[in-house]
A = this chain, B = another copy of it.
Amino acid sequence: MFTIGDFARLGRVSVRMLRHYDAIGLLCPARVDGGTGYRYYEAAQLARLNRVIALKDLGFTLQQVQSILDEKVDAAQLHGMLRLRRAQLEAGVQADLARLAGVEARLSMIEKEGLMSTNDVVVKRVPPVRVAELRAVAASFESPAITPVIRPLYQQLCQRLDAAGVTPVGPGIAYYEEVPDGVLVHAAMPVPAGAPVPDVTVVDLPATEAATVIHRGSMAGIGAGWQELATWVDANGRRGSGQSREVYLECPEDETRWVTELQESLLPPA
């Protein structure tokens, strides 16, 4: 018979842990003194304690450990739990490696540039969205070429939606495709399902995982935002799928106060 302190030393656990395991019925003392409440353990109980610790070390919760030890799970179920745990651990390792890549990227950035300049790139799941859109071709991807094309497209689009009594359900979204003689510009607004509008095309943009960044200021400076995104994607060991969007979150008169979200779709991590 050992007191709780001796038993804790032998098992290399804290006294508090033993009290906790007693409280939840995971490992109860062999004997409890009725008068003083003192707990007494037997050496043979170290075997059970070791089982608890071994399963805990594999990353199971105490509840799961309890089910396993109390034989509430058979071999097949235990097999399933272990496979699940394996999958979780593998995912956890991948997530940590991605974080590690992010930390490395920032470290090298600090060493090169002093502080963080590109500190707001975030990977997000972008939900699918139904949009109404108009298209036109611009000469190049540069802002001076895009702006005179996209402005009238949005004016047209909003007029037609308005005329059809359709209210957009979110901010405008622009996206681009390379074509032989330039860039195909898509000017789109999200619309509710089942609202047909004459003279505009309705398209379902697919859900995607994207690296995103917020650009504040006029469209003349949007190239810097795209640069930042590309740098981040590269530094974090990801690859873009080549699809990208601009979401116009706020477009007041004063264009220097515009707020735009840039999204670059990502391929699944290697």
Contacts and interface: CB of A to CB of B under 8 A. Distances in A.
A96 B96 contact: yes
Contacts of A104: 86
Q: How many copies does the complex hold?
A: 2
B110 A75 contact: yes
Nearest to A83: B107
Interface in A144-179: 171
A43 interface: yes
Contacts of A213: 50
B103 A96 contact: no
B124 A12 contact: yes
A148 to B, nearest CB: 24
A103 B43 CA distance: 27
A97 B58 CA distance: 10
Contacts of A100: 86, 89-90, 93
A10 interface: yes
Interface in A54-98: 54-55, 57-59, 75, 78-79, 82-83, 85-86, 89-90, 92-93, 96-97
A96 B96 CA distance: 10
Among A10, A42, A216, the one with the most B-chain Cβ atoms within 10 Å of its Cβ is: A10
A57 B101 CA distance: 11
A265 interface: no
Contacts of A107: 79, 82-83, 86
Q: Which 7 A-B pairs have the closest CB atoms?
A: A43-B259, A43-B250, A43-B249, A50-B120, A47-B214, A50-B122, A89-B100
A10 B250 CA distance: 12
A46 B259 contact: yes
A44 interface: yes
B44 A106 contact: no
A3 interface: no
A123 interface: yes
Among A99, A103, A124, the one with the most B-chain Cβ atoms within 10 Å of its Cβ is: A103
A94 to B, nearest CB: 10
A156 to B, nearest CB: 24
A114 B75 contact: yes
A125 interface: yes
